Amino acid sequence: MIIPIFLPHIGCSERCIYCNQGYITNAQDDNIANKINCALNVSTETFEVGLFGGNIFNVEPHFLERIFSYFRPYKDRITNFRISTKPVPLSNEVISILKANNVTVVELGMPTFNDKILQKLNRQHTVSEFLKAYYVLKNEGFDVAVQVMIGLPQETWDDIRHTADSIVRLKPYYIRIYPLVVLSGTVLATMYSDGSFIPVSFDEALDRATFIYLTALKDGIKTVKIGLTDNEVIKDKIVAGHYHTAFGYLVKSRVFCLAVKALVDLHKLTGNVVVRLNEKDIPHLVGYKRSNIMQLKNAGITVAWQKDDIREGDFAVESGSLRLTGNIFDALSFFKTA
């Protein structure tokens, strides 16, 4: 079990144009010790602690040590810590503090691997600075994860491909994929209001997340989260962008629909087909409110399904005496020219 503790804006000297973290974390209490006690008193089991929000690498070392000291009453139940942070500034002193307090996982926020877009986002770091931090942390023995975003200002499919290729090259411990959401009270909200930022369509956002998710998974890299959940954003502060309570499910069901369609199109099948698949994949085949079934029907395919002893992500399509096998990575064929 991971108990998340949000420390809004801690260590942030500048704010990213999309960030209104007081809204994201819904945490206004500046008393960090009290926040920690309230979060940890709810459990009597052992747990991992996640420190999220802000830029821990930019916290003064003496203050960072003080924060960790607040956890001492719970040390017998805390298995380890994970933190999320910007990749800069990284110092040997901070690394030593993290090691001394059993931080094992470091999630580095890296919305894009395009320096021009990073500058537009006011991230205050470059791609090369991220890479330097990434490899230093890996060499120090941390499990390093990466948080990426889709739907950013000036983002193109070349950027999405570069992000996916970079993830494959780096082989992080895991990744998270966040769609850009426009929150009131941010620079991005002003850009949206004056027309200088126009979000991509929802379907396009799903496609971009789908491509990164599948490319990473094909190389054995786990995605632990796609999208924002209800406890991460206050809905009435959303001005625009791509928030959906089931965004991750929509991506995974899009993957399955595209993979089946790729096989059907390749063999020019029409009419009734039966898809045999793992029971856990049935919701991904059916889609949100049966949207995949309807989409395939509009393409001339009427789908029935049968659960089978097949590995998750694999499937078979039967049409008369014909049996074809495929897997979710067949969906990547739709993105060759995107």
Q: Is the dihedral of CA 226, 232, 235, 236 positive or negative?
A: negative
How sure is the predictor about 236, in pLDDT bands with cuts at 50, 70 and 90?
A: confident
- Give the pLDDT score at 30: 54
How far is residue 30's CA from residue 41's CA, in Å, rounded to a whole number?
Answer: 18
Q: Which amino acid is at 167?
A: I
Residue 235 pLDDT: 76
The chain-wide mean pLDDT, for the chain, equals: 92
Which residue matches tokens 């856990």?
280
pLDDT per residue as tens digits for the range 177-197: 999 999 999 999 999 999 999
How far is it, in rounded angstroms, from Cα 256 to Cα 314? Answer: 9
| Distance in angstroms (rounded) separating the CA atoms of residues 16 and 41 | 33
As a whole number of angstroms, the distance between CA 177 and CA 152 comes to 12
| Region 225-252 average pLDDT | 86
The residue with tokens 């959940």 is: 229
Taking only the tens place, the pLDDT of each residue in 65-124 is: 999 999 999 999 999 999 999 999 999 999 999 999 999 999 999 999 999 999 999 999
The distance of Cα 183 from the centroid of its chain, to the nearest Å, equals 18
Pairing of strands 322-327, 314-319: antiparallel
Amino acid in position 53: G
Closest to 252 in 3D by CA, of 177, 169, 185, 171 = 177
pLDDT at 229 over 80: no
- Report pLDDT for 29: 41
327 sits in which H/E element: strand 322-327
> Do 150 and 205 form a contact (C-beta atoms < 8 A)?
yes
CA distance 73 to 63: 18
Q: How far is CA 288 from CA 225, 250, 251, in A?
A: 18, 7, 10
What is the spatial distance between Cα 69 and Cα 326, in angstroms, rounded to a whole number? 53
Residue whose pair of structure tokens reads 């999630």 in the numeric block: 107
